[in-house]
Structure 1
Amino acid sequence: MSRQFVVFMAIAVTLGAIAVPIPLQNESIVYRIPVTGEIELGLAPYIQRTVQEAAEVGAAALILDIDTPGGRVDAAETISDALTDSEVPVYALVNRRAYSAGALIALSTSRIYMRPGSVIGAATPVDGTGTKAPEKIVSAMRSQMRALAESHGLEPEVAAAMVDEDIEIDGIVEKGKLLTLTTEEAVAIGYAEEIEDLDALLRELGQESARVVTPDLNWAERLVRFFSSSLVSPFLLSLGFLGLLAEIRTPSFGLAGAVGITCLALFFGSNMIVGLAGLEDVLIVGAGLVLLGIEAFIVPGFGLFGVAGIVAILTGLYMSLLGNIPTMPDFTRAAWVLTTSALLLICSAWVLVRTLPSSSRLAESGIFLLARTASAIGYESAEVRSDLVGKSGTAITDLRPAGTALIGDERIDVVSESEWISAGTPVRVLSAEGYRHIVRSIAEQQEVEEA
């Protein structure tokens, strides 16, 4: 183990220790997690890490500061699981709005507090056009909301009515209307308590002197969000496959292959961390690459293996962009990423083929085939049989003008100088140019010499 590696590990451990707040003696710590804006998959790892960190430092409480219009249901489910399993008491502070997935997250906490003028509810899953999601997704969301309410001693039908407009509750919501509760309404039915702000909530919890910690995204979470974004993913995919294609043209593994594998690893790794891709998606893409390899190196031509490989790769990539509970925006995003990746790959490959071979350094490297392969610069299509020149033999087949002749004891592929030489005609080799052995009938040659 090198000294530099030991120093690097020591620095990393030290920085990691500094990043986690260490409570002083008799000091209380409360973690605050902002849940603002749209809930997306990149938020889930951040909350999971913060919940674990709060437990490790012995935090007194964990407060979710919620102001969200909703977002991805699968991301909210992942967050809900982390909150439900938390060893630290978790409280929700609805700071203006907790719609849709935000309501699911709020119900995952031990108690809900709402600032005056806030709202919670309207949790029906919808697609990007506002259309209600299929019943399968709605049913799953409805059951989960009901189960969370039951686990915290709340009326489950109220939670279900936030998802399903067909549920009617006397004095609360009519049939055909989706339930959304204001602060006063939520307090009236025992679903929440009204609180002025975060400081008031800390006093309510008996933590007015606690140190409030709001963790930032760490570098890994920022990178995951960056690499899994709709703008970066197409570049990773196109560079990944472009690198693999370039590697096929090289005699040994090199930079192109390393770049390709790295880009694909970043794509699948980031998507797996945020919950979009699964191992099965990676296996499907891998199977597609294997099928293409069989088509390219084992089976001649382009047929079943090639088509199956392309279909498998596209299917695996598309699935790796959808997540567990995809809605219409997810399908649109997946189509956008794949289409953009394909266009980038085609354009990049065209540019490489058109421009890079003109580079003398790349041409000499052998990565690209030179435009000229003349014998003057060392290229030969086959061994030149100059020893055959002047020898005589017999045409075994008709030469029309190509055919076969027996020269000495060898069967040689030959081409007649004239248009036609019948089988059995004595011939003589005039010249040898790689695979081309030019012959003339001996009788014709004698006539030429006599003339």
Structure 2
Amino acid sequence: MRQLRHGLRTFGALLATLGTLALALSAVAQDAEPAPDARPVHVAPLTGPIGPATAAFVTGAIEEAEREARALVIEMDTPGGLVDAMREINLAILSSEVPVIVYVAPQGARATSAGAYILYASHLAAMAPGTTVGAATPVEFGPASEPPELPADTPAEPAEPAPSDEAAPAEGDAAPAEEPAPSSAQAMRNKVVNDSVAQIRALAELRGRNADWAERAVREGVSLTAEQAVDMNVADLVAPSLQALLEAADGRNVTLVEGRELVLALAGAEVERVEPGFALELLQVITNPNIAFLLINIGFIGLLASFYNGLEPVTLIAGLICLIVGFYALNTLPVNYAGAALIVLGLGLLIAELFVASAGVLAISGLAIFALGAVMLVDTEIDALQIDWRLIAGMTAALGALTFAAVSYGLAAQVRKPVSGRESLTGMEGDVLEWDGAEGFVHVDGERWHAVSKDALAAGDRIKVTGIEGLTLTVKKL
């Protein structure tokens, strides 16, 4: 009996040990299972031309997503923009710790020029129906007008046999002319285009996308619709809405920085939109070339008004602030320094008109040079980054009107009759008090004056002052 009880106790202890071990293994297994990611998906807009403000916003959105989100979706609709800003965005995408999905949306949107490079850099490229991608030729140069170069693998034409000695040109005959070397402009174009091709091909090879079509987009400026882009392995998928995009992207495998593989888990994720703050919105406003151009002109007018009023401080400080902000904005844009020099020259001629009597020649020349410089100021063919011709015309007309008003005021001041001092006596009338021969004393403007005259005068005669020299008036008889 005692042995039976001992065996039962041993069996019970064994069961307790096994139960404890089972619970421990269960807890370890639960800890090993990854907890579902409760972080949201951030969505950031990228619309309009790509400039410094856009680059700052997108890079900031990527940094925020790395801290708070499981992925970042960039909703893009852009005609392109500055190369430096585009490269800053691409560097941020390539080094991102979270997946960056570029979604060309809404319907009718486009990812052209710099936008095509950003699409190629993304971890997942998506497009809404009715959108387009391509036309990635550097816009400062445009597509080549000459026939495109043959690919490297194109078979060369068979070489003709070398001519025999009998067919050699006679001595004294002109040798065949060598092909002229490319011009400096063409050489620069080739340099920029080849650099752009290398960059977009590198992005295509990194993401496993169509590198040959990417090169054509740069060299020939070709474009694709959303469906064509997916068929040609330029984009990964077509999605009619953001939710459809998240559902379609769920379960896809992407490669992050340093080759880390990640399976996207985006279905049913909460969506949080990221908007630019006040500082970025202000930066985007002042880096608009039209606003920058307007600020510089307002600053110039403010300085002129301050100098005219004896360095009046309010207009002086306001003018300096406008000039500083305007020049800062222009520093972020592709400025043509020849255009900037023409603007300065034109303004200088307008100032010279105020001091030199040129019958308007300096003013007209200055206005024409100013307008030409304004047209040349921003060196790009992207419409959204060019100065509006209506603003140029308006500012030219405004400066012309101000110059005309200043010159007219100066001329009027020269012919205006003095209203105080001795010069104001010219033209006044008075009476002769005493007279002897060619001189005497007269009463003018309530005062007694010594006077001379060629007329025969006598006390009581009415006279008019025709001039003054020192303290002596020249008068004539009325």
TM-score by length of 2: 0.52
Q: Does 1:124 align with 2:137?
A: yes
Structure 1 position 106 matched with structure 2 position 119? yes
1:238-277 aligned within 5 A: 238-273=297-332, 275-276=333-334
- Choose the corresponding residue for 2:421, options 356, 364, 376: 376
Contact 2:339 2:375 in 1 (8 A): no
Question: Cα distance 1:99–1:373, how it changes in 2: closer, same or farther (>3 A)?
Answer: same
Please give the alpha-carbon distance, in whole angstroms, between the structure 2 residues aligned to 1:247 and 1:108: 51
After superposition, the C-alpha distances for 1:364-415 in whole angstroms (9 at most, x for unaligned) are xxxx9995544439999xxxxxxxxxxxxxxxxxxxxxxxxxxxxxxxxxxx
Shift of the alpha carbon at 1:199? 3.0
Contact 1:241 1:345 in 2 (8 A): no
Superposition map of 1:81-160 within 5 A: 81-95=91-105, 96=107, 98-101=110-113, 102-115=115-128, 119-125=132-138, 136=189, 138-160=193-215
The 1:417–1:142 alpha-carbon spacing in structure 2 relative to 1, beyond 3 Å, is farther
CA change 1:328–1:250 in 2 (3 A) is: same
* Alpha-carbon separation, structure 2, partners of 1:250 and 1:216: 45
What value does the CA root-mean-square deviation take over the aligned residues? 5.3
- Find the counterpart in structure 2 of residue 178 from structure 1: 222
What letter matches 1:152 in structure 2? Answer: R
- Find out whether 1:46 has 2:26 as its counterpart: no
Counterpart in 2 of 1:64?
Answer: 74
Gap change, CA 1:190 and 1:58, over 3 Å in 2: same
Partner Cα separation in structure 2 for residue 94 and residue 244 of structure 1: 46
Deviation of 1:104 after TM superposition, in Å, equals: 1.7
Decide which of 173, 193, 218 is 2:236's aligned counterpart.
193
d(CA) in 1 for partners of 2:289 and 2:121?
29
Q: Which runs of 5+ in 2 are unaligned?
A: 1-35, 146-184, 252-263, 426-451, 455-466
Count of residue pairs brought into register by the alignment = 332
SS, match of residue 333 in structure 1 = coil
| 8 Å contact kept, 1:318–1:334 | no
Contact in 1 for aligned 2:126/2:245 (Cα 8 Å):
no
Larger radius of gyration: 2
**Cα 1:369–1:158 shift into 2, 3 Å:** same
2:89 and 2:471 mapped to 1: Cα distance? Answer: 73
Match among 355, 374, 378 for residue 322 of structure 1: 378
- Cα distance in structure 2, aligned partners of 1:85 and 1:375: 77
Q: Measure the CA separation in 2 of the matches of 1:357 and 1:84.
A: 66
Q: Which has the higher contact order (CA 8 A, sep 6+)?
A: 2
Letter in 1 for 2:224: T
1:107 is displaced (CA, Å) by 0.8
Aligned residue for 1:423?
A: none
In 2, the alpha carbon distance for the partners of 1:67 and 1:329 equals: 15
Give the C-alpha shift of residue 331 in structure 1.
8.9
8 Å contact from structure 2 (residues 80, 382) kept in 1: no
Q: Which moved more, 1:142-151 or 1:201-210?
A: 201-210
Identical pairs, percent: 22
Q: TM-score, normalised by structure 1?
A: 0.55
Q: Which runs of 5+ in 1 are unaligned?
A: 1-24, 166-176, 359-367, 381-415, 419-431, 440-451
**Letter in structure 2 aligned against 1:105:** I
Q: CA deviation at 1:344?
A: 1.8
Of the three residues 40, 45, 50, the one matched with 1:29 is 40
Question: What do the CA deviations read for 1:271-296 (whole angstroms, capped 9, x no partner)?
Answer: 445x3559x8999799979999x999
Letter in 1 for 2:71: A
1:214 paired residue number: 273
Report the residue type matching 2:236 in the other structure. Answer: E
Amino acid at match of 1:46: F
- The CA deviation at 1:206 is 0.5
C-alpha separation between the residues in 2 aligned to 1:193 and 1:151?
14
Deviation at 1:142, TM superposition (A): 2.7
Match of 1:162 among 217, 224, 227: 217
Contact 1:161 1:179 in 2 (8 A): no
Q: Partner letter of residue 144 of structure 1? A: Q
- Given that 1:234 and 1:340 are in contact with CA atoms closer than 8 Å, whether structure 2 keeps it comes out as no
Task: Give 1:318 deviation, angstroms.
Answer: 4.6
Distance of 2:275 and 2:295 partners within structure 1? 26
Q: Which residue number in structure 1 is paired with residue 250 of structure 2? A: 203
Are 1:60 and 1:89, in contact at CA under 8 Å, matched by a contact in 2? yes
Q: 1:236 to 1:290 in 2, by over 3 A?
A: closer
Cα deviation, residue 434, structure 1: 7.1
- Measure, in 2, the Cα distance between the counterparts of 1:155 and 1:270: 37
Say whether the 8 Å CA contact 1:79–1:105 is kept in structure 2: yes
